[in-house]
Amino acid sequence: MTLEPWCASRRLFLITALGLLFSGSVAAQTTPPAFKVLVLAEAGGIHKPFVDAAKVWLQKEAQACNFTVDYIEDTKLINDSYLAQYKLFIQLNYPPYNWTPTASSAFEQAIEHGTIGWIGFHHATLLGEFDGFPMWPWFSRFMGDIRFTQYIPTFVTGTVKVEDRTHPAMKGLPGSFTIKDEEWYTWSRSPRNNVHVLASVDENSYTPETSIKMGDHPVVWTNEHVKARNIYIFVGHHAELFQNSDFTILFHNSVLWAAGR
């Protein structure tokens, strides 16, 4: 993966500073982080390998691009002042339910007013009544007025087609790329009429073949009806995604764009 110029410059600075430090020429040098990232990470369960791999990857990204990452595994700490510390909120497979009322209100306000950027992965669109919790209507509208219906339990490989190659999050990606062994979700409707679709999956490419399909099936999109820079990336079930350079380019680009860099 090719780093953005300012990330590459940051890495060069670190290497140079470390070289000078170990040669005894200068004292330790530090620079303030460019921004802070809050990650709401799903704890345990079937997505734990993906979350663990994401943490390792984000640590490397943070070092290269000069940002810091804090992790939480529930929403108890989230309120207006807590979110105000951060430039970017990553919902790392944490579902859109079981949030405290204070947290959900603070999140809605931050997204509506654009005081924080947002990236959501995979489980973030598990919209409906789950585990005794009602659906979050605002979050459903934020995701394009959709509701989860089912998923492909056998997992299939699919071809993702980039629809907007001019968007900063899609920079450096080919016109299409392959995502292996994903549990593609379907929703009550395509979000396309309510969001800006950046990429969709070609359901005719599913291998092995499956009858579980939507027709029009966006998998990467941004909601331009709110002020916050936001991007939803459907893929995010298994750790092997971090061996897929197309996925990591998309993740890298999304971090920088959503954080306003």
CATH code for position 214: 3.40.50.880
Does position 109 have pLDDT exceeding 80, yes or no? yes
pLDDT at 44: 81
**Does residue 1 fall inside a structural domain?**
no
Does position 161 have pLDDT exceeding 50, yes or no? yes
pLDDT at 94: 96
pLDDT band, very low/low/confident/very high, at 31 (cuts 50, 70, 90): confident
**Does residue 4 fall inside a structural domain?**
no
pLDDT digits (tens, 9 = 90+) for 184-196: 999 999 999 999 9
Full domain range(s) for residue 182: 12-258
pLDDT at 24: 41
**Does residue 78 fall inside a structural domain?**
yes
Instruction: Report the C-alpha gap between 102 and 73 in whole angstroms.
Output: 16
The region of weakest confidence among 11-25, 40-54, 75-89, 166-180 is 11-25
Q: What is the mean pLDDT of residues 136-154?
A: 97
The more confidently predicted of residues 16 and 99 is 99
Does position 168 have pLDDT exceeding 80, yes or no? yes
**Does residue 3 fall inside a structural domain?**
no
Helix (H) or strand (E) holding 185: strand 185-187
pLDDT at 30: 67
| Residue entry with tokens 């004292």 | 27
| pTM score of the predicted model | 0.90
pLDDT at 111: 98
Question: What b/e string do you get for 213-245 counting C-beta neighbours within 10 Å, with b at 16 or more?
Answer: ebeebbbbbbbeebebbbbbbbbbbbbebbebe
**Does residue 16 fall inside a structural domain?**
yes
pLDDT band, very low/low/confident/very high, at 4 (cuts 50, 70, 90): low
Pairing of strands 230-233, 218-222: antiparallel
Instruction: Report the C-alpha gap between 166 and 241 in whole angstroms.
Output: 24
**Does residue 221 fall inside a structural domain?**
yes
pLDDT digits (tens, 9 = 90+) for 127-140: 999 999 999 999 99
**Does residue 2 fall inside a structural domain?**
no
How many domains would you assign to the chain? 1
Q: What is the mean pLDDT of residues 244-255?
A: 98
Q: Taking a C-beta distance cutoff of 8 angstroms, is the pair 181, 157 a contact?
A: yes
pLDDT at 6: 52
Does position 254 have pLDDT exceeding 60, yes or no? yes
Strand partners, 207: 157
**Does residue 236 fall inside a structural domain?**
yes
